[in-house]
Structure 1
Amino acid sequence: MSFFNSEKLQDAQKANLDLLQQISGKVFASVEQLTQLQFKTLQASTEEQFDGIRKLLAVRDLQGLAELQTSFTQPNVQAERLAEFNRQVQALIVGTHSEIAKLTSRQVEVGTQQVQEFVEVISKNAPAGSEPVVAAFKSSLANAGTVFESAQNAVKQAADVAQSGFDAATAAAGKVAPGAKTTSGNK
């Protein structure tokens, strides 16, 4: 009797290829979104620089120059723009990671089910006296599943901690910027 089922192997290979294609598609879409975000940010920054130069060229006296200089040094606005850009990049990263994790998790579940089915077929057809080996193999398989789930949970927790840290840093930057503006205004 053969334990090898070529149809199941081909199906698994096709499923893995489809998964790889889906992951590649998600990565390429994310890279495209990041590129567009960077392009829009660069374009807005360039326009802002040209507007600043136009305003500088329009200055006619020292009072106008002082007012213009004050408008250029608005750390709160600059900090908010940077924080918004970072929020968008972080959201893109988290979204992509989440989508890829869902795809791979489903594939791992299917693969685990196939391995369990294979082990069941082997255990039913194993020669007498091999029960301890089959039991050890089943135990190893269960332990591997537990380790995988623990690793998934650890990665999710690390992503949550990183997101919390990013949110806290963004909030702190928003609070520091107004203080910096007040300090520079007092000088």
Structure 2
Amino acid sequence: MFTIPEQFSNVAKTNLEAQLSLLTNLTSKAFESMEKVVDLNLNVAKASLEDSSIAARQLLSAKDPQEFFSLTAAQAQPTAAKAIAYGRHLAGIATSVQAELTRTAEEQIAETGRKFSALVDDVSKSAPAGSENVIAMFKSAIGNANAGYEQFSRTTKQAVEVMEANMNSAVSQFSQATEKTASRARK
């Protein structure tokens, strides 16, 4: 049978290992997301360079100011559509990373909480008489910590949902403004 200090030492060691594992997983996910953002930006930069070159050649070939302005207006719509697509893709990366980080953290915290609860239960079985209040305090602290984390998790998810809704609204408004501007320029 383990003594109480040995049990706490084992739990502390296990908890440290779990925290290192969580940190490693979160760091890995963060690097994966950065790779996606870098890839997206490189692809957008290449496409933008090609599009700019084509657009410049078209504008330089304009025979009169009317044709120049007509070409400029015609190029505005596809450029805006690409900007909108970029924003959506970037938001998609951010959303998926946030979901993955949240899931990983929730799993780790739940596992750590489960192990700590098991330790408290084990310790309470072999605890000396009169320590019930201390054990109850530990259990209460665990319950409060779990409730606080659950509230934090819900609040974070709500904030992400609001951010996504705001992003979609901004993209929609930008798209409508671009369409109006392009239609005015054609007239």
- Shorter-chain TM-score: which interval? 0.7 to 0.9
Counterpart in 2 of 1:72? 72
Once the 2 structures are TM-superposed, how far is the Cα of residue 50 of structure 1 from its aligned partner? 1.1
The alignment yields a C-alpha RMSD, in angstroms, of 2.0
Deviates more, 1:104-113 or 1:125-134: 125-134
Q: Which stretches of structure 1, 4 residues or more, deviate above 6 A after TM superposition?
A: none
Gaps of 5+ in 1: none
Aligned residues with identical type, % of pairs: 23
Once the 2 structures are TM-superposed, how far is the Cα of residue 133 of structure 1 from its aligned partner? 2.5
Q: What SS is found at the alignment partner of 2:93?
A: helix
Q: What SS is found at the alignment partner of 1:85?
A: helix
Q: What SS is found at the alignment partner of 2:129?
A: coil
Q: Write the mapping of 1:7-18 to structure 2, written as runs, cut at 5 A.
A: 9-18=12-21
Once the 2 structures are TM-superposed, how far is the Cα of residue 7 of structure 1 from its aligned partner? 5.3
8 Å Cα contact 2:73-2:186 kept in structure 1? no
The whole-number CA distance in structure 2 between the counterparts of 1:85 and 1:102 is: 26
Gaps of 5+ in 2: none
AA aligned opposite 1:139: S
CA deviation profile, 1:28-81 (whole Å, cap 9, x unmatched): 11111111111111111111111122223434x32xx42233222344322211
The whole-number CA distance in structure 2 between the counterparts of 1:182 and 1:11 is: 64
Counterpart in 2 of 1:166? 167
Counterpart in 2 of 1:128? 129
Counterpart in 2 of 1:38? 41
How many residue pairs match? The answer is 183
With the length of structure 1 as denominator, give the TM-score of the two structures. 0.87
